[in-house]
Chains A and B, each alone.
Chain A
Amino acid sequence: MTEKTEDFTDLQIVERVKGGDKKAFSILVKRHQRGLMRLSVRFVKDIDMAEDVVQESFIKAYERLASFEARASFKSWLFQIAVNTAKNKLRERKEGTFDIQDVQLGIAPQAESTLVQTSVSQIIQKFVDDLPQRQKTALVLRVYEDLSFKEIADIMECPYDTAKANYRHALMKLKGDIETHQELQNWKEDVGGFVMEMTRRVVEADA
C-alpha cells in the first residue's frame, strides 16, 4: 500500500518538491497558510498586506527551497521568511506602528467609531505594538503562536537565551504598562470580548 502524500512530513514533501514535484508544494501551503496568515496579520495589521506577505513568503520559500538545509523545521524557516517579509513591507510603508483603523477594513463609520473607542483590547494592543521589535516578535510567537523558544530562536536568528530574554523583557514591560494605566483599572471585563466578536463578524462579512 502506498502512503498518501498528505501523510508525509514537511521534510519529505520538501524533498519531493526539490525533486521536481511542484504539486507537492500545495500540501505545504495548505498546512501552513493559516498560521502564516495569523502571524502576518499580527505584524502588519492590514488584511490585504498580510495576504501579500503570505503569498510572497510561500513564493520566496519555493524559490529558495534549495537553500533549506533542515537545520530548523520547515515551519520555523517559513515563519522566518514571513517575519522578514512583513518587516520589509512595514519599512516600505514607513509605518512601524499599528493603527487600529487599519484592521477594521470596510467598516461603516458609525460601527468604526464604536469599535475604535479606547477599549481594553486596543490599549493592550497598543502596548504590544509599542514594544521593541524583537521583544514583540518573541512575545507574539510565544503567546499567540505557542511556539517553543527553540523555534522562536530559529525564526529570530538569535541564540535560545536571547529569544527567552526578549520574551521576558516584553512581559515585564507589559506588566508595568498594564498596572500603571488608569483606564485598565476601571474598564468592564467584557469589553475586550465584545471587540473581538465584532472584529470577527466584520471580517467574516467582508470576506
Chain B
Amino acid sequence: MKKQTGESEPQWWMDIDPLAEIEQKADNKKVIETLEKYDQGQIQFSDDFFDQMHDRIMSEISKEEVQIQEQPLLERYRKKIHQAFTMMASLVVIMIAAETQTRMAEINVRETVEIAQALGNSSARFEHSLLTHQNPDDFFVDLGEESLNHLTQEQIHNLVADESQN
C-alpha cells in the first residue's frame, strides 16, 4: 500500500502552465507588432509600375515560344510513382528481415544437429563431460555424501526412519 505523505505527487499536466502560455502569446503579439511597426518592406509602387510589369509579362507570354508545356509523363504520375517506390522499398526491407530471420533459424537448427551428431559419435566423452559438470547443487550433494560416509549404520537407519515418519 502506498504511504500517505500528505504531499501530492507531481502530475504531468502541471507542467503546462496556463500563465506561461498566455505570456508566450503576449510576447509573440509584441514581436509581431514590432515587426509590423518597423517594416521596411512596405514599398509603395505606382499603378504605372504595375501596368508596365503586366504588359511585359503578357508580351512574353504572347510569344510563340512560350507555351503551356505538356506535363511530362513522369511528372504526371510522380505521386503514384513515389507511392509505388515507397511500397516496394518497404517490401524489400520486410523481405530482407524475414530472410535474415530464416537464415538465423537455419543456422540454429544446423548447429543443434551438428552438436547432436558430435555427441552421438562420442557418447563416452559426452557422458564424462556431463558427469564432471558441477554446479552449486552438486557441491551440496557431495557434502551430504561426505557426511553420510562418517555416520554409523545405526545413525543412518534412524535418519531413514525419521524421514519415512515425516
Contact = CB atoms under 8 A, between A and B. Distances in A.
Interface of A: 17-18, 22-23, 25-26, 29-30, 33-34, 37-38, 41-42, 47, 51, 54-55, 58-59, 62-67, 100, 103, 120-122, 124-125, 128, 139, 143-144, 168, 171, 174-175, 178, 192-193, 195-196, 199-200, 203-204, 207
Contacts of B27: 171, 175
A54 B42 contact: no
Residues of B in contact with A, size category:
35 or more
Nearest to A47: B43
Interface string B91-121: 0000000000000000000000000000000
B42 A196 contact: yes
- Most chain A beta-carbon contacts within 10 A, residue among B37, B38, B42, B60: B38
Contacts of A195: 38, 40
Given A33-B54, A171-B28, A178-B31, A124 B45 contact: no
Given A64-B69, A67-B75, A124 B34 contact: yes
B45 A37 contact: yes
A62 B61 contact: yes
Interface of B: 27-28, 30-32, 34-46, 48-50, 53-54, 56-58, 60-62, 66-71, 75-76
Q: Is the interface of A mostly helix, strand, loop or mixed?
A: helix
- Most chain A beta-carbon contacts within 10 A, residue among B60, B61, B69: B61
Contacts of A17: 68
B40 A196 contact: yes
Nearest to B36: A143
Given A23-B58, A38-B42, 19 more contacts: A17-B68, A29-B54, A33-B53, A33-B57, A37-B45, A37-B50, A100-B40, A103-B43, A122-B40, A143-B36, A171-B28, A171-B31, A174-B31, A174-B35, A178-B34, A193-B37, A196-B38, A200-B44, A203-B45
B136 to A, nearest CB: 59
A121 B45 contact: no
A124 B53 contact: no
Contacts of A143: 32, 35-36
B151 to A, nearest CB: 81
Given A59-B66, A63-B68, A121-B38, A25 B49 contact: no
Given A25-B58, A192-B37, A41 B31 contact: no
B36 to A, nearest CB: 7
B61 A55 contact: no
8 contacts: A26-B54, A33-B50, A55-B60, A59-B61, A63-B67, A124-B35, A144-B39, A175-B31
